[in-house]
Amino acid sequence: MDFQLTEEHLMIQKAARDFAQTELLPGVIERDEHQKFPAEQIKKLGELGFLGMMVSPEYGGAGLDTISYVLAMEEISKIDASASVVMSVNNSLVCWGLETYGTEEQKRKYLVPLAKGEIIGAFLLSEPEAGSDATSQRTTAEDKGDHYLLNGTKNWITNGNSASVYLVMAQTHPEKGSKGINALIVEKNSPGVTVGAKENKLGIRGSDTHSIMFQDVVVPKENRIGEDGFGFKFAMKTLGGGRIGIASQALGIASGAYELAVKYSKERKAFGKEISQHQAIQFKLADMATRIEASRLLCLKAAWEKDQHLDYTLSGSMAKVFSSETAMWVTTEAVQVHGGYGYVKEYHVERLMRDAKITQIYEGTSEVQRIVISRSILA
């Protein structure tokens, strides 16, 4: 067993860290305050290859492994989780899904610009009445011979307005339940697609979350991913890797807050000494460091299993539930270490605490991860 990162891993980690410091840190508070999508920064992330990290160079990607992806996600998320969720959705849900299950034509037409970051994508599974209970899809894709007619509403869609390409799950054969669902590639500018208002959120306020409405949208048959009825399995398989991305996002949010707490504890004096000299603060920092290290190991283990083509469903869910709960706990303690200063925007930790919460909700709530884990260990 080798815990050493390779030279290449260290280089990618440093590149992501430098990018976060120079490109994302300036303006991160204002973007959060004004719910401003980090458009310029995402463009640059794309140019550097961070939006198609694991896609083969043949399709315009960087051809890196999942461990590199975890390392980059952690560094970007330390500074700006609104940017890292764009990166996570594009890499793990959209690009991975297309590269793994798409046809050659779909890859040439959609994956190449997505992997190069020329356009971004979105993943549309959730509906107002189908969140955790994702098999209850009400959006319909009626089979019309050479095309599908898409009708319905998706909600909470990350990149909803910025994406050019949507991967949409919709029900074609309701009598077949989850086996009747199809995954379709839908271009955002298709007639009949409407983008709803932007959600005003607690955290990741820079990311654009929208409802998307479909009314009689014509989707050519060649835009279906996989066989007829493969859509739900497609969504589950894709989310398996997505959960590693969100676990790494949570890891980054936690380690960002921890680094700020360590720094502040050495600067702030109370009762004649730095607060880092008080054992109550030292023990908080020790617990933060320990939980973060455990999260990192779970994320890297899941990534390694994915790279080895092993089944990573269980480890991905374990990484997600543990890292997201760690992020919530660590960020709350980081605010505590900062005292009153932690409660205002300039010190960053309150934003990280607000951003942490979503990691327990999207790509499967903590309860859903526990369902996946318990089913696996009891099987």
- Picked from ligand FAD, ligand CAA, none, the partner binding residue 372 (CB below 5 to 8 A depending on kind) is ligand CAA
Q: How far apart are CA 184 and CA 218, in angstroms?
A: 11
Can you tell me which of 233, 278, 301, 357 binds ligand CAA, judged by CB under 6 A?
A: 233
Tell me if 202 contacts ligand FAD by CB under 6 A: no
Q: Which of 23, 305, 350, 363 is catalytic?
A: 363
C-beta separation of 371 from 236 below 8 A: no
Q: How far apart are CA 48 and CA 83, in angstroms?
A: 14
Question: One symbol per residue from 266 to 305: x for binding ligand CAA (CB under 6 A), - otherwise; what is it?
Answer: ----------------------------------------
C-beta separation of 190 from 184 below 8 A: no
Kindly indicate which of the ranges 23-31, 76-84, 266-274, 361-369 contains the residues binding ligand CAA, using the contact rule CB under 6 A: 361-369
From the number of C-beta atoms within 10 Å of its C-beta (0-12, 13-18, 19+), residue 63 rates as middle
Supply the DSSP symbol for 110: I
Kindly indicate which of the ranges 164-172, 193-201, 323-331, 366-374 contains the residues binding ligand CAA, using the contact rule CB under 6 A: 366-374
C-beta separation of 45 from 114 below 8 A: no
Q: Is 363 a catalytic residue?
A: yes
Backbone phi, psi, residue 311, to 5°: -75, 120
Rounded to whole angstroms, what are the CA distances from 345 to 32, 76, 225, 355? 10, 19, 44, 13
Tell me if 326 contacts ligand FAD by CB under 6 A: no
Q: Nearest CA to 232 among 144, 185, 170, 148?
A: 170
**Total binding residues for ligand FAD by CB under 6 A?**
22
Can you tell me which of 82, 91, 126, 295 binds ligand CAA, judged by CB under 6 A?
A: 126
Can you tell me which of 51, 72, 120, 125 binds ligand FAD, judged by CB under 6 A?
A: 125
**Total binding residues for ligand CAA by CB under 6 A?**
23
From the number of C-beta atoms within 10 Å of its C-beta (0-12, 13-18, 19+), residue 359 rates as buried
Helix, strand, coil shares of the chain as percentages rounded to 5? 60, 15, 25
Residue nearer to ligand FAD on the CB measure, 102 or 121: 121
Tell me if 356 contacts ligand CAA by CB under 6 A: no
- Chain residues binding ligand CAA by CB under 6 A are 85, 89, 123, 125-126, 132, 134-135, 158, 178, 232-233, 236-237, 239-240, 313, 362-364, 368, 371-372
- Chain residues binding ligand FAD by CB under 6 A are 89, 122-126, 131-133, 156-158, 201, 209, 358, 361-365, 367-368
Active site amino acids? 363
